Structure 1
């Protein structure tokens, strides 16, 4: 049951590491500071300075670096992919299902 997910996770890990490597993606202290400011802006009860000290702590730093790196990887992917929308017919609604 776990095998398909483990395979997908391993593939994503390899692909994302390669994207980061090829695009020279790194996470700097400035990136962490900007992330703290962005998160603080979403929630008025949080202060960017408090978030920053938490993010820079030994316990959280790896997690936050990973989170920011993923955002950068997604940005690279989005910049290289063209999404096209396709018109699809809306399926007819079955009235019997609503009565159940």
Structure 2
């Protein structure tokens, strides 16, 4: 009788161990890489032209009201801002080669 109880206890533990193995969490998949080239391409082809068109409409609207000096000031500020953005983009793309050129 005692041998039967020991066998039942062992079988119950084995069944619980199999359940634990079957219900164990699976490893998470590797994180996906972000397509930064696609994001930059999207901004360059879709967002920037819309912003430039909006600036153009604002400038034309102001100029038609006779605020030419404000339009010239705003245009100069916009051009300087675009120059800063272009400089940042060029450093983003060519920064590694500039560092190699200066420090090697």
- TM-score of the superposed pair, with normalisation by structure 2: 0.27
**Which structure shows the bigger proportion of residues in helix conformation?**
2
User: Whose radius of gyration is greater, 1 or 2?
Assistant: 2
Structure with higher RCO (Cα < 8 A, 6+ apart): 1
